[in-house]
Structure 1
Amino acid sequence: MARYIKNTLITSILPVIGTLISCPMVAYSITKIPWKGGKYLFPIILMTMMIPSMVTQIPMYATWSKLGMLNTFIPLVLPSFFGSTYYIYLFRQFMKSLPTSVIEAARIDGAGDFRILYSIVYPMCSSILTTVAVMVFIACWNDYVGPLMYLQDSKLYTLGIGLQMFKNAAQPEWTLLMAASTVFTVPLIVIFFFCQNAFLNGIQTTSGIK
């Protein structure tokens, strides 16, 4: 169980880091940087949400197989560093509400876009950053299909697969099964408990709920 927890933390924390690096950069570029392609790029990004994940599973598996990266954590972690459509959308909706005058003042003072993003925009986006971090962590923590597709060595299994294996092995032992389920669930409850205010504020700001 300890090994499964460690593997799950790796495949949950690294995607959070990758998402918080890549998605704000894309959202900032199409929202606050004046360039002609921004208004055309965002609809193209949104169009990728129309493609069901089931359709891309076989091509993605074949791609990672040809790259020789099966049975590693790379297929579960690396895509997050290239952005996710839904989280780019959330960041864009939030950044549209940020005052443009502050960013323009920073440009006049000689700050570059990366300096503006990490020194000005990031601190102003603390609520949506927390919201996305919690959502990504929960999604990766609960992910079952991804690890099942790409991981073959039992030493690399995550809690989702480990819990299923434990269920098959200890099906009559309901006390042990409930204990294992508690280990799987408690971290998510704790994270949401400590981050609920920022999480709800981020949801309200990006969705328009009052």
Structure 2
Amino acid sequence: MKRNKQIKSLIVYVFLTVYSIATVFPFFWMVLSSFKSSGAVFEIPPQWVPDLLFKPGMWDSYFKVLTKHNFLRYIWNSSFISVTSSLGQLLTCSLAAFAFARMQFKGKQMIFALLVATMMVPTEVTIIPEFLLFSKLGWLNTYAPLIVPSLLVGAFGTFMLKEFFESVPASLEEAAIIDGCSPLKVYWHVFMPVAKPSLATLFIIAFMNNWNEILRPVLYIQSPQLRTLTLGLSQFQSEYTTDWNLLLSASVITILPLIIVYVFNQRFVMEGMMTSGIKG
């Protein structure tokens, strides 16, 4: 029995190791290739050691991307949009989740079911009426169409936080009400502090979704100064050629903020995973 258990564990670890390598390898190869010259990117056979590594010009593609191609501005634009949308989504989703989880009102179940049902509607289905609406509001070529839809439509976040709020012991809420707290104070002083792991998880998901958004920037942004990183990546590709070394360097720059956000929030994510099954 012990030997069979060890064999099963070995198989699982081998599978996880192979899966991890397959997942990480594309990013690893992208970083290596960003330190290659244009002609060396598609060398056959591939060279594992970049030809510019630790040589003059090693960082030239990164400097060129950040300065000549205005990626510093694009980083700021994407950061502003992603952070604003994500923080707004935390507020709106947590308020809605608290109402659905802890308050009683007529039609609650039907409204929640309709909200969850919107998760099955693709963005492409609503993008035309959305474009016409924002055009009437005069929001074209502004950040508003990139922030407002994400800020106000958070069905997944509402569903996730509702499940967590329902697991909070009722004694905490009752004690706060006895102390004279209004529903809004109960939400802010009781539920929000204990929901930090779930809020951190939702922030990461919302940040990644907004950071990687491409459809809305393509539709709504015309000014070069308002471009996001996803739009900035497209300038390295034309009908006939692609600047692969610059595109790879720009892709590394684009991915790094996502890694940084996850690293700073992974403690809360792990806490949420460890306590998600614990109910009071």
TM-score, length basis structure 2: 0.69
2:204 counterpart residue number:
134
Instruction: Indicate the residue corresponding to 1:34 in structure 2.
Output: 104
Residue 120 of structure 1: how far off its partner (Å) = 1.0
Say if 1:204 and 1:92 are closer, same or farther in 2 by CA, change over 3 A: farther
Whichever of the two has the greater Rg, that structure is 2
Q: Structure 1 residues 40, 105: closer, same or farther in 2, change over 3 A?
A: farther
Checking the alignment, whether the CA contact within 8 Å between 1:5 and 1:159 is kept in structure 2 is yes
Equivalent residue number for residue 264 of structure 2: 194
Aligned to 1:73: 143
CA change 1:204–1:165 in 2 (3 A) is farther
Matched, 1:10 2:80: yes
Q: Does the 8 Å contact 2:236/2:242 carry over to 1?
A: no
Residues 1:185 and 2:242 are matched in the alignment: no
Question: Could you say if the C-alpha distance between residues 58 and 203 of structure 1 is closer, same or farther in structure 2, counting changes exceeding 3 Å?
Answer: farther
CA contact (8 A) 1:93 1:206 kept: no
| Cα RMSD, aligned residues only | 2.1
Corresponding residue of 1:110: 180
Q: CA deviation at 1:203?
A: 5.4
* Cα drift, residue 4 of structure 1: 0.7
From 112, 125, 129, the counterpart of 2:195: 125
1:126-155 deviation digits (Å, cap 9, x = unpaired): 000000001111111111111111111111
Contact conserved, 2:140 with 2:220, CA < 8 A, in 1? yes
The alpha-carbon deviation at position 52 of structure 1 amounts to 1.8
Whether the 8 Å CA contact 2:75–2:228 is kept in 1: the answer is: yes
Cα distance between partner residues in 2 of 1:152 and 1:88: 33
The 10-residue stretch of structure 1 (165-174 or 17-26) with the greater mean CA deviation from structure 2: 165-174
Partner of 1:168: 238
Aligned equivalent of 2:228 = 158
- Percent identity (aligned): 33
Aligned-pair CA distance for 1:194: 2.4
Q: Which amino acid aligns with 1:135?
A: I
Q: Structure with the greater relative contact order (CA < 8 A, sep ≥ 6): 1 or 2?
A: 1
Q: Aligned pair 1:149/2:219, yes or no?
A: yes
Distance 2:158 2:81 in 1: 20
Q: Which amino acid is 1:144 matched to?
A: I
Unaligned runs of 5+ in 1: none
Residue 34 of structure 1 deviates from its aligned partner by 2.5
Distance in 2 (CA, whole Å) between partners of 1:48 and 1:175 is: 41
**More helix per residue:** 1
* Distance in structure 1 (CA, Å) of the matches to 2:121 and 2:260: 33
Range that drifts further, 40-49 or 89-98:
40-49
Question: C-alpha displacement at 1:96, in angstroms?
Answer: 1.1
